[in-house]
Chains A and B, each alone.
Chain A
């Protein structure tokens, strides 16, 4: 069964500090992994996508890593801002060709405080 587990479940950090969110998955055959940011009351929005051959990808202050051997990904947020407060969801796609099965993690709720 495809599963995506995220940790920690929730996190509180001071504004300006860095943090790292973790994602472990058991998905086969792996296609790609995305990190989404979901603000309260809004739909999720994609931050990064990583395919099998990619180890690191950055999007501004967000840096995602992928270790396909250990089936782990991390999302590192640098110099956090109050607007980073949101849920961060790891989403892994499995399959090939035209059909992809998407599995969502339960998310990490991040709160950045002044």
Chain B
């Protein structure tokens, strides 16, 4: 596609429910990132996929968070047993791979509200 596409754009869920957020990166981009941005805060790194390499999961805040990237393209971020502190905007970005000169292209984000 023309840009990074994320869905849903907004999600309201009840505490304890599981949610899935989807990211469709720019075609041909081998690198994909998930970030979390709480209200008025900076971007918090969650996970990074680069080609067929093992993902960098160092930013995932707990084992309730997981992500996968199927076929090197679409990625899904799953949050199990959601908590109120999970409420944030979840941003996905993709790049051509390796950041020597590559720019991160961001989606518009998925706003998650946990009641």
Contacts and interface: CB of A to CB of B under 8 A. Distances in A.
Interface in B33-76: 33, 35, 41-43, 45, 48, 50-51, 53, 56
Interface residues of A, number: 27
Interface in A30-47: 31-32, 34, 36, 41-46
- In terms of DSSP, what is the predominant structure of the interface of chain A? strand
B103 interface: yes
Contacts of B91: 43-44
A100 B43 contact: no
Nearest to B109: A43
Interface in B62-115: 91, 93, 97-101, 103-104, 106-109
A11 to B, nearest CB: 15
B12 to A, nearest CB: 16
Given A43-B91, A43-B93, A99-B98, A49 B103 contact: yes
Interface residues of B, number: 25
Interface string A94-114: 010111111111110000000
B106 A44 contact: yes
Interface of B: 4, 33, 35, 41-43, 45, 48, 50-51, 53, 56, 91, 93, 97-101, 103-104, 106-109
A89 interface: yes
A42 B108 contact: yes
Contacts of A43: 4, 91, 93, 106-109
A99 B100 CA distance: 9
Nearest to A93: B99
Nearest to B111: A41
